[in-house]
Structure 1
Amino acid sequence: WVVFALIIAWYLLIWLFQDHIEARFDARLNDQVAEMVAASESDGQGGVRLTWEPTDPRYALPHSGWYWQISEGSQVIVASRSMWTDRLNLSGALPADKSEALLITGPNKEPLRALGRAIRLPGSENPLSFIVAGPVADIDSDVAEFSGDARLVLTALGMLLLIIIALQISYGLKPLGNLHLALSEIRAGKSRLMRGEFPGEVEPIVRELNALLEHNSGLLERARTQAGNLAHALKNPLLIIQNETTNVQGPRGQLVHQQLKTVNSIIDHQLSKARLAGSTNLIGAQTSVQSVIGDLIYTLEILYQDRNISLTQAGLENLLFRGDRQDLEELLGNLIDNACKWANGTIKIAGESLDYPDSGRLFRLTIEDDGPGIPAAEMLAVLQRGHRLDEQTPGSGIGLNVARDIVKLYSGKLDLDTSSIGGLRVRLILPAA
């Protein structure tokens, strides 16, 4: 709208200036006509003579564009030397009481602006026509010069206004930038509430957002505590039932033992989810991926030392997980332990950083083994709680499901496919600090 307004202002200024220049031009011509009328007198023989001529030297230069003449009807009585042998031709009768501007063509076909008046001098039978003309080019040149100057001034003014508007918008939106940074810090885990200085207009929003964050945090903590309390409350009665049914044999005993095992699996799963629900509230949580994997490899090599499994790692040096260390330990512990159970002798762990404009900083972890792998048709099913492909291998069947829950909690991604070394390959994408 600034550019549009300045363009309109430019056209309006040009129109006003041209109107002013034409008025001054006409006033000058009118003065010349009045001077010629005052200097004219009858010669007593039906003619007219001038007691003096206009002093402007341009009336003496041939074809200068400035002309005057006095005529009676179609006969020119006297004219300026600038007319040379040409004459000014006006169509129509001239007014007797005032001068008015006319646009005519000059001796050199140039456009002229002329003023004329019909005056009857004492001693003259017929009215005389007094005409003074000047070049329209003089008006056009003045208007063109003013137009160029006005264009430069308005352009500079427009640029100044745009800079001022940009600065005003930047300054006005600065509080929103601070609000964005505060929200980003909360999302990144660097802060639990919005901190910083905010103007009075934004402060109510900040207070409401902080109150909402506190409320949600309290609800989450109560839900986690209640789920944990319920699971722990069920543990002891189940343990008693399990001990009392140890000697029950036969199909009924097998059924009871199987159902107790299923209930224990469900409770373990819910306890794990309850702990996860509270862990993401940690402020500024950052975990070294290499440190966690190094500790897990040390423990698993001892646990599976009779298997002679080779665990190698690459690309983990600068990877930082934006989250709780215990969550990462449980996630990778489940996945690497699962790989150790099925590997024939080799497990490879590799990492790399990712940076997507829409998703922020991420990293990818790949865990692959040389075991029997998983059929493609079963890869989705094994992520379900309690689903096991081999009932003879120790475990509760909830490891991959817990891993999936942890990844989902951090808005990550978990994919299964076939490894290049023959077994299962697990790909993880998680938020990076």
Structure 2
Amino acid sequence: MRRRLTSRIIILSVFWVAIALVATAALLTWLYRDHIEQHYDAHVFTHVEELIADVTVRPDGQPYLYRQPTDPRFYRANSGWYWQVVIGGRILAKSDSLGDRDLDISELNFDENHDAQILLDPLGQRLRARVVHVMPQNIDEEVTIVATAPEIQIQDDVADFGWHIALAFAVLGLGLTMAVLVQVFVALRPLKAIREAIGEVHAGHIDRLPRDFPLDVQPLVSELNSLIDHNETVLKRARTQLADLAHVLNTPLTVIRNEARSIHSKQGQLILDQAHTMSGAIDHYLSRARISGQKNVMGYRTSIKSVIDDLSFAMNRIYENRDITLELCSKGDCRFRGEVQDLEEMLGNLLDNACKWATKRVEVRCGLDGDRLSIFFDDDGPGIAEEELQAVTQRGKKLDENAPGYGQGLSIVREIAELYNGHLTLGKSELGGLSAELELPAVI
């Protein structure tokens, strides 16, 4: 499934923003934990140094601790804040928070760096311990001093910091996401404008893309305009060559028809009929070739009213002796998305057919339905039997062999309409004659 460029940029940007925020949050949490552990360890070691200074000897030569640390946490039972002084394997003093229990320091390592170590208290709680061996003056035995702090407090501090970081980074992530959305929509606005301009050109509202785009996309706009110009030039050249070909072929065919008329026999009539057939086929296939190269080209738009007005003037001159009334009723500004020559050929055939068979009146109506337009031709003539409506649009089919023409008109209209993804529908008119509905793409 293909995604839009906007969606791709937004998804990738949000993804990498999320990755960066999560990685940064994890790094900050790790740094904060390391900092808080060092802070606790330093605080605990301060109490160890305080205990070292408070170990002394009585006048009778017995060591004792003349002053205890004043931190209130050492007086709260089972707080995890403990201290203990050991001399010669016996406990000289310990914190009130231990109660009647002692710290088991047999598993601790005694090194010169006095690094923090993990120790379990009598209740199984994890503690961060600092332990020191010293030989105070006037004391012949080694003194071991240990002080601890509960690790759970570090975890609680880190967890609290983590929640604050998560909240702050969530707000930051939301802000960055909004910034990405704004940046993407603003940065891609020229591409959206190009797409809309191409739609305007395709619909026939404008001939070329505007030239007021940012410098970064202006080369693309220039290339698109050059492509439109090139296509138009190629089509004009092809149209000219097709017209030349039609002229080259029709000139000798005219000579053949003229000569055939001078031959008063069945062979002369056969030659004349075949020449008419060849001329109609040439016109038919040249028209199809011309339209096939133009029907999907951008920028063509043709006013229905202007074409009908021109054709009505011509029909009034052609059928002026029959006193036919032509009425045009247009709902909205009907515009055909295609070339004027194609529209003139279709409407000219339909209007000529209506005037040819009408008694006194021909109505032409035009209406819009979304991106489609419908043009109706109604006459008050004899009409066509329902079983013959389908056959009359076949090329070369004539219901009245005495009527002028070669039976190409309605078939040409149908085939041109189909090349524009439209269609021709014939039926019974409310005026009593034939009703022809031509549906074509509209400029909206």
1:362 paired to 2:372:
yes
Cα distance between partner residues in 2 of 1:92 and 1:279: 92
Write the distance in 2 (CA, Å) between the matches of 1:371 and 1:29: 110
CA apart distance, 1:250: 2.2
1:298–1:391 distance in 2 versus 1, CA, 3 Å = closer
* Local SS of the residue matching 2:107: coil
1:211-250 alignment runs, 5 A limit: 211-250=226-265
RMSD (Å), alpha carbons: 4.4
The equivalent of 2:417 in structure 1 is 407
Using the alignment, how far apart are the partners of 2:336 and 2:88 within structure 1?
105
Is the alpha carbon distance of 1:259 and 1:119 closer, same or farther for their aligned partners in structure 2, counting shifts above 3 Å?
same
Cα deviation for residue 213 of structure 1 reads: 2.5
Taking the aligned partners of 2:353 and 2:363, their CA distance within structure 1 comes to 11
Return 286-295 or 45-54, whichever deviates more.
Answer: 286-295
Change over 3 Å in CA distance of 1:367–1:90 after alignment to 2:
farther
Amino acid in structure 2 at the alignment position of 1:61: R
Of the structure 1 ranges 421-430 and 9-18, higher mean CA displacement relative to structure 2 is found in: 421-430
For residues 145-294 of structure 1, what are the structure 2 equivalents within 5 Å? 145-269=160-284, 285-288=301-304, 292=308
Q: 1:171 and 1:258, CA in 2 relative to 1: closer, same or farther beyond 3 A? A: same
Query: Contact 1:231 / 1:270 at 8 angstroms: preserved in 2?
Result: no
Matched to 1:431, the amino acid is A
Q: Percent identity?
A: 31
Instruction: Assess, with a 3 A threshold, how the Cα gap between structure 1 residues 245 and 73 changes in structure 2: closer, same or farther.
Output: same
What is the CA–CA distance in structure 2 between the aligned matches of 1:137 and 1:5, rounded to whole Å? Answer: 29
C-alpha separation between the residues in 1 aligned to 2:429 and 2:83? 104
Rounded to whole Å, the distance in 2 between the matches of 1:93 and 1:233 is 112
Shift of 1:139: 1.4
Matches within 5 A, 1:370-389: 371-373=384-386, 382=393, 386-388=395-397
CA distance in 2 between partners of 1:271 and 1:75 (Å): 118
- Shifted more, 13-22 versus 214-223: the winner is 214-223
- CA distance in 1 between partners of 2:309 and 2:89 (Å): 114
Q: Give runs of aligned pairs for residues 9-158 of structure 1, distance below 5 A.
A: 9-43=24-58, 47-72=62-87, 75-95=90-110, 97-106=112-121, 109-124=124-139, 126-158=141-173
Are the equivalent residues in 2 in contact too, given 1:304–1:340 (CA < 8 A)? no
Shift of 1:92: 1.4
- The 1:238–1:132 alpha-carbon spacing in structure 2 relative to 1, beyond 3 Å, is same
Going from structure 1 to structure 2, the CA distance change for 1:120 and 1:31 (only over 3 Å counts) comes to same
Query: Is there any run of 5+ residues in structure 1 with no aligned partner, and where?
Result: 355-360
TM-score normalised per structure 1: 0.77
Deviation at 1:296, TM superposition (A): 6.5
User: Which stretch shifts more, 275-284 or 250-259?
Assistant: 275-284
Pairs aligned (count) = 420
Q: Report the alpha carbon displacement of residue 7 of structure 1 after superposing the two structures with TM.
A: 0.7
Q: Write the deviation string for residues 378-418 of structure 1: whole angstroms up to 9, x where unpaired.
A: 77x955xx342646254323324432453355x42326698
Structure 2 runs not aligned, ≥5 long: 1-15
**Equivalents in 1 of 2:306, 2:231: separation in Å?**
33
Deviation at 1:426, TM superposition (A): 5.8
Q: Deviations over 1:12-39 (max 9, x none)?
A: 1111110111011111111211121122
The code of the aligned residue for 1:170 comes to: F
Q: How far apart are 1:10 and its partner, in Å?
A: 0.8
Taking a change above 3 Å as real, the CA distance of residues 423 and 279 of structure 1, as seen in their structure-2 partners, is: closer
Q: Is the 8 A contact 1:6 1:158 kept in 2?
A: yes
Q: Which of 284-293 and 44-53 deviates more?
A: 284-293
User: Is 2:398–2:406's contact at 8 Å kept on the other side of the alignment?
Assistant: no
